[in-house]
Amino acid sequence: GDSVTQMEGPVTLSEEAFLTINCTYTATGYPSLFWYVQYPGEGLQLLLKATKADDKGSNKGFEATYRKETTSFHLEKGSVQVSDSAVYFCALSDSGSARQLTFGSGTQLTVLP
Amino acid sequence: SQTIHQWPATLVQPVGSPLSLECTVEGTSNPNLYWYRQAAGRGLQLLFYSVGIGQISSEVPQNLSASRPQDRQFILSSKKLLLSDSGFYLCACRGGLAETQYFGPGTRLLVL
């Protein structure tokens, strides 16, 4: 079945540091890929998505490129802020009618001032 | 755009008691609806999804059940809670042919 493998956390960075959170996937067909963010005590918010190979999703300074050849969708940000501290989830959506999401285990990011 | 409401926000229940969590959606018709559970410090597990009124698919065998009595209402229930039912329950919605699921604010359940 489909699966998502996400970089283990927690990750602690200083403000303005460069961020990479690795995500690789296994899926049949052509899944859509997502990054969601969860702030403390809250639900999940969509951060960005990509629906086909070589698409780049971007939002709030975060970027991720759908790499079919390496089955990856790594999340990057050039300069993190304290407000970026949260848990980040990589996910894929299958191509079936239900469009079920398969999530990675999440990566806790803490940004220190 | 769609808005997802969940209540209650927090719930503390004794083992063996019943459970009813409600999710309602605004701003879309005939959505696909999902219930996920997030155990402490872990990822999300899909519990149920529904493509229409009265249509429920279960992803894992468990102590819980789901119902969809109205187009934009999704209910998660249990007759007798277990300690292992503790967690953060998230309702999600996907409209029509859209790719993206949007999540509600969640219900934090603690079973003692």
Residues of chain B with C-beta less than 8 angstroms from the C-beta of A99: 32, 94, 99, 101
| Residue A61 neighbours by CB distance under 10 Å | 13
CB contact B44 to A (< 8 Å): yes
Cα separation, B86 vs A25, in Å, equals: 29
Cβ within 8 Å, pair B102-A46: yes
Q: Does B49 touch chain A (CB under 8 A)?
A: yes
The angle subtended at Cα A59 by Cα A57 and Cα A65, nearest 5°, is: 25
Is the CB of residue B89 less than 8 Å away from at least one CB of chain A?
Answer: no
| A93 to B99: CB separation less than 8 angstroms, yes or no | yes
Six token digits for residue B21: 């969590």
**B74 close to A (CB below 8 A):** no
Residue B28 to residue B45: CA distance in whole angstroms = 24
Residue in chain B closest to A99 (alpha carbons) equals: B99
Give me chain A's average pLDDT, please: 93
Q: For residue A94, what pLDDT is reported? A: 80
Give me Rg for the CA atoms of chain B: 13
User: How many angstroms separate the CA atoms of B103 and A102, rounded?
Assistant: 14
Instruction: Answer yes or no: do A89 and B90 touch at CB < 8 A.
Output: no
Residue type at position B76: L
Q: What is the dihedral of CA A41, A47, A51, A52, to 10 degrees?
A: -120
Neighbours of A88 (CB within 10 A): 24
B23 contacts B104 by C-beta, under 8 angstroms: yes
Can you tell me the distance from the alpha carbon of A78 to that of A38, in angstroms, rounded to the nearest whole number?
20
| Cβ pair B89, B36 in contact under 8 A | yes
pLDDT at B91: 96
Binned at pLDDT 50, 70 and 90, residue A8 comes out as confident
Closest CB to A106 among B6, B43, B105: B43
Query: Which chain A residues contact residue B93 at CB under 8 A?
Result: none
Chain A residues touching residue B49 (CB < 8 angstroms): 98, 100
The answer to whether A46 contacts B51, with C-beta atoms less than 8 Å apart, is: no
- For B6-49, what is each residue's pLDDT tens digit? 999 999 999 999 999 999 999 988 999 999 998 877 788 899 99
Q: Please, which pLDDT band fits residue B98 given cuts at 50, 70 and 90? A: confident
Distance CA A18, CA A75 (A): 11
Segment A15-68, tens digit of pLDDT: 999 999 999 999 988 899 999 999 988 889 999 999 999 999 999 999 999 999
Contact: A98, B57; criterion CB under 8 Å: yes
pLDDT at B11: 97
Cβ-proximal residues to A77 (8 Å cutoff; 6+ apart), any chain: A18, A19, A61, A62, A63, A84
Give chain A positions within 8 Å (CB) of B34. 100-101
- Look at residue B99 in the predicted model and tell me its pLDDT: 79
Mean pLDDT value across residues A94-98: 72
Tens digit of pLDDT for each residue in B37-85?
988 777 888 999 999 999 999 887 678 999 999 999 999 999 999 999 9
pLDDT of A91: 95
- pLDDT grade, residue A99 (50/70/90)? confident
For the residues A84-95, what does the mean pLDDT come to?
Answer: 92
**CA B64/CA A91 separation, integer angstroms:** 24
